[in-house]
């Protein structure tokens, strides 16, 4: 295998190299350098640059954080969400326990039982958010795309106990009913044109 | 001595103390705002409209913080050093005439806005400002901290050498005027400003002023990247605040002296009255102090010494020589 492209760190072809003069050794040359540096007016160029930025309006980079927020990438792994099934409104979780198995920080606990139709249902599900490292393995392994990572990164509390409660991570019923539950757009999700790609299963080969 | 004179002097002292303490605090706000705009930020925004009351919040914080004296520090010297910084800065102001004489409205009482009109005013100001050097020196040596000790060492090399530059720079205009009184120097410039005759001396004095107030191109005493905060590393709360007030008060003194000696002082300029004129000049100089902080990098201590002894001191001496030849 050819590694040339991997080893080439010059991402752009128009890289600019700064030419650095050699340090003068003779005292005449040093004096020349001192005089040129003194009279070049580089200090005033610096003064003008900052003054220009000061008098230019609306070039501030500051984001007034609690009032303004930067958009979060759809693949950002923040607080978990547990989705509901679109058809029935039930929790999408089938209680397979894969997320508990794969969790490398051991923070997911899932308790299941057999329900009335012999289906496995979830009795209790907790994520210790204080331990969670937000690696995203649980979301990746979930066969039903039930547990996903949301965009809500402002989870702070004074109580450690608050970091284990999972009841609020399930999509609330009112939000679900108003159709605001956003399906997980990250890895494993259906693509936008998934319907177009569906082909009829041939009955005979 | 008349009792009215004593009362007047006390009132003047109180006014100067309060006004310049408040100005020192307000300048920190202005500095943060100007630096922020120059660096494309917003600066303090949340306390009060546009963050104006940030100074108040900072004051409350400084006054209520714990006053820590580190273990093995020399306690009396450690405690007295910030007081030297602030008091020397304010004592230096006592010989500075801030405004022209004015009469209190509806009375015929004339006020001279100078606490003590000593006839060697400029010498007194320079001397007391030089005494302020003891503050960082003693603070650094008493702190029992290696960064503070390095800051104290830098205090000596920087402030002591640049006292010579500021002295040499001021000798040339003093030779022209022939008086050490700041009021005489000011009155001399009713026609032309001295900076017209002495541009080199003005530049030298400004450079020395930056070094003595340890403002940015020369703030080696508290160079954050190298020696934490230098001499003030171990200080907290209001004692640190006294150092800050001293620094800003010194900035104002240097700005006032520069405008009085070189930029025409409080003489009226065409139709602009003298009081407005000196406020404009001082504000411009203070803005320049803040402007350079955003624009220029620090220098190394060896570069500072090189600049002081190999460039500025010969320049100052040549300037004095040429001035003397011209005067003869």
The predicted-structure confidence for B190-244, as pLDDT tens digits, reads as follows 878 888 888 888 989 998 888 888 887 887 777 777 788 878 888 888 888 888 8
pLDDT of amino acid A28: 92
Is the Cβ of B102 closer than 8 Å to some Cβ of chain A?
A: no
CA distance B38 to A47: 10
Residues of B in contact with A45 (CB under 8 A): none
Which of B204, B294, B297 to mutate to test binding with chain A, by most A CBs within 10 Å of its CB? Answer: B294
Which of B206, B295, B314 to mutate to test binding with chain A, by most A CBs within 10 Å of its CB? Answer: B295
Do residues A30 and A24 touch, judged by C-beta distance below 8 A? yes
Confidence band (pLDDT; 50, 70, 90) for A11? Answer: low
A60·B41 Cβ contact <8 A = yes
Instruction: Convert the pLDDT of each residue in A153-180 to its tens digit.
Output: 887 778 777 666 556 677 777 777 777 7
Is the Cβ of B207 closer than 8 Å to some Cβ of chain A?
A: no
CA closest to A60 among chain B residues: B40
A62·B42 Cβ contact <8 A = yes
Give the DSSP letter of residue A191: P
At residue A72, does pLDDT exceed 60? yes
What are the residue boundaries of the structural domains of chain B, listed by start? Answer: 67-327
Residues of B in contact with A54 (CB under 8 A): 34, 37-38
Instruction: Convert the pLDDT of each residue in B76-115 to its tens digit.
Output: 998 898 999 889 988 888 888 887 777 777 777 777 778 8
Do residues B215 and B251 touch, judged by C-beta distance below 8 A? yes
A43·B295 Cβ contact <8 A = yes
Residues of A in contact with B204 (CB under 8 A): none
Residue count of chain B: 328
B209 closest CA partner among B295, B92, B82 = B92
B37·A61 Cβ contact <8 A = no
Q: Which two tokens stand for residue A182?
A: 């956003």
Beta-carbon contacts of A60 under 8 Å, excluding residues fewer than 6 positions away, are B37, B40, B41, B42
Q: Which two tokens stand for residue A75?
A: 């693949």
A54·B42 Cβ contact <8 A = no
pLDDT of amino acid A8: 67
Pair type for strands A120-127 and A147-149: unpaired
A60·B39 Cβ contact <8 A = no
A53·B38 Cβ contact <8 A = yes
Is the Cβ of B26 closer than 8 Å to some Cβ of chain A?
A: no
Nearest to A60 among B34, B40, B294 (CB): B40
Is the Cβ of A49 closer than 8 Å to some Cβ of chain B?
A: yes
B40·A50 Cβ contact <8 A = no
Here the contacts of A61-64 (C-beta below 8 Å, separation 24 or greater) are: A61/B40, A61/B41, A62/B41, A62/B42, A62/B45, A64/B42, A64/B45
CA distance A174 to A17: 59
Nearest to B296 among A46, A51, A62 (CB): A46
Beta-carbon contacts of A168 under 8 Å, excluding residues fewer than 6 positions away, are none
Is the Cβ of B41 closer than 8 Å to some Cβ of chain A?
A: yes
A49·B295 Cβ contact <8 A = yes
Which of A50, A52, A53, A67 to mutate to test binding with chain B, by most B CBs within 10 Å of its CB? Answer: A50
Residues of B in contact with A43 (CB under 8 A): 295-296
Nearest-neighbour CA in chain B from A43: distance (Å)? 7
At residue A1, does pLDDT exceed 70? no
Q: Say how many CB pairs under 8 Å bridge A and B.
A: 35
A50·B294 Cβ contact <8 A = yes
pLDDT of amino acid A163: 67
A46·B42 Cβ contact <8 A = no
Is the Cβ of A46 closer than 8 Å to some Cβ of chain B?
A: yes
B291·A61 Cβ contact <8 A = no
Q: What 3-state DSSP class applies to A164? A: coil
Mean pLDDT, chain B, rounded, equals: 85
Count, in order, helices (H) and strands (E) of chain A: 7, 4
Residues of A in contact with B42 (CB under 8 A): 60, 62, 64
Mean pLDDT, residues A25-37: 87
Is the Cβ of A44 closer than 8 Å to some Cβ of chain B?
A: no
Nearest-neighbour CA in chain A from B25: distance (Å)? 22
Residue A204 CA, chain-centre distance (Å), reads 45
Buried b (16+ CB within 10 A) or exposed e, B143-174: bebebbbbbbbbbebbbebbbebbbbbbbbbb
pLDDT of amino acid A104: 92
A50·B295 Cβ contact <8 A = yes
pLDDT of amino acid A79: 82
pLDDT of amino acid A118: 81
- Both ends of chain A: CA-CA distance in Å? 40
Nearest-neighbour CA in chain B from A49: distance (Å)? 8
CA distance B18 to B16: 6
Is the Cβ of A60 closer than 8 Å to some Cβ of chain B?
A: yes
What are the residue boundaries of the structural domains of chain A, listed by start? Answer: 19-61, 80-189
A51·B291 Cβ contact <8 A = yes
At residue B25, does pLDDT exceed 60? yes
CATH fold of the domain at A80-189 = Alpha-Beta Plaits (3.30.70)
At residue A96, does pLDDT exceed 60? yes
**Portion of chain B with pLDDT greater than 70, in percent:** 100
Residues of B in contact with A33 (CB under 8 A): none
Range with the poorest average pLDDT among A13-17, A37-41, B34-38, B71-75: A13-17
At residue A5, does pLDDT exceed 70? no
Range with the poorest average pLDDT among B39-43, B155-159, B266-270: B266-270
Instruction: Convert the pLDDT of each residue in A124-145 to its tens digit.
Output: 888 888 788 888 888 888 888 8
Beta-carbon contacts of A108 under 8 Å, excluding residues fewer than 6 positions away, are A99, A100, A125, A126, A127, A128, A138
């Amino acid at each position: 295998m050819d590694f040339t492209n991997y080893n080439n760190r010059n991402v752009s072809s128009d890289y600019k190299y700064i030419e650095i003069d050699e340090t003068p050794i003779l005292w005449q040359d040093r004096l020349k350098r001192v005089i040129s540096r003194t009279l070049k007016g580089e200090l005033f160029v610096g003064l003008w640059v900052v003054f220009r930025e000061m008098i230019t309006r609306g070039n501030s980079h500051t984001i007034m954080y609690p009032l303004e927020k930067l958009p979060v990438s759809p693949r950002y792994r923040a607080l978990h969400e547990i989705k509901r099934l679109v058809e029935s409104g039930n929790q999408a979780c089938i209680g397979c326990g894969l997320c508990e198995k794969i969790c490398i920080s051991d923070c997911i606990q899932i308790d299941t039982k057999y329900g009335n139709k012999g289906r496995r249902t979830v009795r209790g599900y907790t994520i210790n958010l204080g331990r969670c490292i937000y690696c995203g393995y649980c979301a990746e392994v979930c066969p039903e795309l039930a547990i996903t990572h949301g965009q809500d990164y402002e989870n702070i509390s004074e109580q450690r106990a608050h970091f284990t409660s999972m009841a609020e991570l399930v999509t609330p019923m009112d939000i679900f009913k108003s159709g605001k539950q956003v399906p997980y757009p990250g890895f494993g999700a259906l693509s936008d044109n998934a319907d177009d790609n569906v082909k009829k299963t041939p009955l005979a080969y | 001595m008349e009792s009215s004179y004593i009362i007047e002097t006390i009132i003047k002292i109180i006014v100067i103390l309060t006004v310049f303490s408040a100005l020192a605090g307000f300048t920190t706000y202005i500095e943060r705002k100007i630096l922020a705009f120059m660096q494309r930020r917003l600066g303090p925004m949340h306390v009060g409209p546009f963050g104006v009351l940030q100074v108040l919040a900072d004051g409350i914080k400084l006054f209520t913080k714990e006053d820590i004296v580190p273990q093995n520090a020399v306690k009396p010297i450690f405690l007295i050093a910030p007081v030297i910084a602030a008091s020397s800065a304010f004592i230096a102001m006592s010989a500075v005439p801030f405004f022209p004489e004015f009469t209190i409205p509806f009375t015929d009482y004339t006020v001279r806005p100078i606490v003590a009109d000593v006839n060697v005013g400029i010498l007194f100001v320079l001397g007391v400002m030089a005494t302020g050097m003891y503050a960082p020196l003693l603070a650094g040596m008493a702190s029992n901290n290696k960064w503070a000790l390095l800051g104290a060492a830098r205090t000596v090399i920087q402030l002591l050498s640049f006292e010579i530059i500021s002295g040499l720079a001021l000798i040339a205009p003093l030779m022209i005027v022939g008086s050490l009184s700041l009021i005489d120097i000011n009155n001399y410039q009713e026609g032309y400003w001295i900076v017209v005759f002495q541009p080199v001396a003005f530049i030298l004095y400004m450079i020395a002023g930056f070094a003595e107030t340890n403002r940015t191109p020369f703030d080696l005493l508290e160079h954050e990247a190298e020696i934490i905060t230098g001499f003030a590393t171990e200080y907290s709360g209001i004692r640190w605040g006294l150092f800050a007030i001293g620094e800003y008060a010194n900035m104002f003194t240097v700005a006032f002296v520069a405008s009085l000696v070189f930029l025409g002082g409080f003489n009226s300029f065409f139709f602009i009255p003298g009081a407005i004129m000196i406020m404009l000049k001082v504000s411009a100089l203070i803005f320049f102090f803040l402007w350079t902080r955003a624009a220029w990098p620090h220098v190394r201590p060896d570069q500072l010494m090189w600049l002081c002894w190999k460039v500025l001191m010969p320049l100052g001496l040549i300037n004095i020589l040429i001035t003397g030849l011209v005067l003869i």
